Chain A
Amino acid sequence: MFALPVRPKLDALRHRIETLERKGAPEARAGSAFALGPLTIASGALHEIRVCGWRDAPAASGLALAISGKIAARTRKPVVFIREPRGYISIGRAYACGLSSFGVDPKDVIVVSPQSAKEALWAAEEAAGASGVGVVILEFLKPHGLLDLTATRRLQLAAEASGTTPIFLRSAGDAKPSAARTRWRIAAAPSAPDSHDLKASGNPRWRVELEKCRTGGRGAWLLEWDYETGELREAAVHGRALPEMADRSFEEIAAVA
């Protein structure tokens, strides 16, 4: 009589709850995942990149741009950059001539300069909900009360409904909970040696750790952006790749790098 196996029933229920939780967002639009070097990034979801200090913000921009470039190549949709409102340490603005090295065409970039956290958050939500946008980069390193669990959940829901990929750059010191699908930590690492000039700095390298992931999995990597091929890959230290890196921690990578 009770011949139905328990497992499929349970799965079906789980699936139903999941759909209900997503407030009926169509299944097909709920993002697809793609590989970026050793990383797997889901589009149509909110990602958080946390920087160890404001001096690492350019590195975080680099990773965010690498993700944007990959998404832009697939969807041909523009990137919306939301700048931090004034009042925090300024390290300038996005530079058009530097974007193309990460596969982002400056023609497909919209730069929004809000005046307050409220405006920044509003603009991010509007952009994340617009189906014509590929990636929304919200740069907000200064910890702020408005950028809380509710705000990130709203961004996540907007992204699920429209298929955009918001990336939130925030400070690692900001301990507020977040509804982001994944949370990364990043710091700059000494660059790869230049094959022509020993003294020169070569391809940029970053220490990246996946701190949190909704679907499970953690890891830490030493990543290198190859300017020539336009690809992100795991850095080879002393001539060999380090596959076991994925099991190491952020701090251990620093020792190797």
Chain B
Amino acid sequence: MAVLFPKWPTDRLKKSQPSLDQGGAPLALYERAQSALRLYALDAAAESLGLFPGQALADARAICPHLVAVEARPLEDAKAFQKLCARFMRYSPAVSVQRTGEAFVDVTGCERLFGGEAAILADLARRLEAAGFSAKIAVAGTPGAAFAFAAAGVGGVVAAPETKAALAPLPIDVLRIDAVAAERLRRMGLKRVGQLYDMPRAPLTARFGKELLMRLDQALARETEALPLLFPAPHDYAEMRFAEPISSIDAAMESARKLAGDLGETLLKAGKGGRRFELTLFRVDNQMARVSVRTSAATNSPAHIARLFDMRLDGLRSDIDAGFGFELVRLGAFETEKTPALQHEAFDRAAADAALSELKDRLSNRLGARRVCRLDLKDSHLPEHADALVPATAPPAAAVDADPGLRRPVKILSHPEEIEALAQIPDGPPARFSWRRVSYRLVRASGPERIADEWRRQENAKPTRDYYRVEDEEGRRYWIYREGLYEREAGTPRWFLHGFFA
């Protein structure tokens, strides 16, 4: 079953801001494209006035002065769409979203529960209409065909044997090919899907690429199409049903702990560990809440999994709405991989490593992955590019060794700060400098160490720097540099403070 929402962005906006829907004024969403404001999506009223997506906002306003224009928010559109599609799971667990506004539901085998495919279609159409969304729905043997019928507005249920005949009169655009290819096909006189049936395949592929025939074959069930699911089912999971729904977070935490024990045991027996775990709380009224945690190394330790969920759920206390209670709690393991057996007890070293990766997981899950980093050395001689903070849970990078001969500061400013420096001779080290409105008198200096920008960065290369290690009267040591070679690159030299020595 394909469910298309041609007016999703405007429908969503009207639903979230009902005031826009009153008065019937045409509504348009615009986006910034190459410093111009262009129309992004239109509602039916605006479309009937002859406006089209991609048109400049100024032109549209000239045509229709009472146009209501709002800036588009594609990310919010996509998020809201996924949320809506999650509710399609009432018909089937296999829901797939590839682009915002286009959803596929595999209802094979589920139709009996609802009294046939037509009944599902009617039920969904009724619900969507009541919610105020304009949608086109079609059921067919393949996702491709269902999409084609929905897009062409044929609708209804098309049985598998009739698919080929029913597709033939439809315009070529319904095959999920890009607009440029469709336009070229039309120019060649190929306007209907049926015209492609008897065309020789090789020239079509040569002219229009593999995609055209792939889409046609997918629609005609000559080629299978695997759609990525919105909510993939976990391979390994443990679940708990409640006769009496639970409604407190503490009860959910308790069940998560219990499930972690069960799941950990299952994984351990299979010699596997998961890198991501998701706890799904199914509410009595078909809603669900999902909480997931990530680990840096595959794990099957029940205590570790339980602890991560304890922390997450504790932080989400106010965000999880139990409604009338949860009747089913499921803990699933994703991205599973083989783990060496007896990792925890075998050696002290292995135990220490496990304790360390568990610590990284706890820190990353609570503070955010970007706040828990390791220091990677990079192959660059520009001081600010010679190392980088990389999330500790990221896969390890190629090893680069530090040059022990270089004297480098222990602390570095991420952005060198400009200082006012007074030098005795123009190309020598300064005698004093002031930084952040405090003046420092320097008694010692060594250098310069000349660092030029990398040769491969020919364009916008930074000026050459002369680094000095300097020391003030009280023994504090700084790393400063002059930007630009004296009399060659820069007229007036600028000085910067870059780091601090111990």
Given A58-B502, A96-B376, A101-B404, 9 additional A-B pairs, CB 8 A = A92-B413, A94-B412, A107-B377, A113-B367, A115-B367, A188-B474, A188-B476, A204-B502, A257-B475
The answer on a CB contact under 8 Å between B444 and A58 is: no
Q: Are A92 and B444 in contact (CB under 8 A)?
A: no
Produce 1/0 per residue, B458-480, CB < 8 A to A.
Answer: 00000000000111011111000
A211 beta carbon closer than 8 Å to chain B: no
Chain B binding surface, main DSSP class: mixed
Classify chain B's interface size.
35 or more
Q: Could you tell me the distance between the alpha carbons of A204 and B477 in the complex, rounded to whole angstroms?
A: 8
In the complex, the answer to whether A122 meets B406 with C-beta atoms within 8 Å is no
A112 to B366, CA, bound (A): 12
Name A184-217 residues within 8 Å CB distance of B: 187-191, 194, 197, 199-201, 204-206
Q: Is the CB of B412 within 8 A of A95?
A: yes
Is B204 at the interface (CB under 8 A from chain A)? no
- B399 & A107 in contact (Cβ 8 Å cutoff): yes
CA gap between A61 and B383 in the complex, in Å: 19
- B360 to A: closest C-beta gap in Å: 7
**Interface assignment of A99: CB less than 8 Å from any CB of chain B:** yes
Query: Quick one: CB contact mask for B401-423 with A, threshold 8 Å, 1 for yes?
Result: 01110111111111000000000
Q: What residues on A are CB-neighbors of B446 within 8 Å?
A: 194, 197, 199-201
A220 CA to B443 CA, complexed, in Å: 25
Instruction: Tell me the smallest distance from the CB of A165 to a CB of chain B, in Å.
Output: 15
Q: For A204, list chain B residues within 8 Å (CB).
A: 477, 501-502
Residues of A within 8 A of B355 (CB): 130-133
What is the interface of chain B, defined by CB distance below 8 A to chain A? 351-360, 362-363, 366-367, 371-377, 383, 386-387, 389, 392, 399, 402-404, 406-414, 443-446, 469-471, 473-477, 499-502
Distance in Å: Cβ of A76 to nearest Cβ of chain B = 8
CB of A155 within 8 A of chain B? Answer: no
B410 pairs with A102, CB closer than 8 A: yes
Interface residues of A in 162-201 (CB under 8 A from B): 187-191, 194, 197, 199-201
A110 at the interface (CB under 8 A from B): yes
Chain A residues lying within 8 Å of B377, measured Cβ to Cβ, are: 96-97, 106-107
Tell me, in angstroms, the Cα distance from A123 to B464 when the chains sit together. 41
- A219 CB-CB contact with B under 8 Å: no
CA distance A99 to B351 in the complex (A): 26
Contact B360 A92 (CB under 8 A): no
A190 touches B383 (CB 8 A): no
Given A115-B371, A190-B475, A101-B407 contact (CB < 8 Å): yes
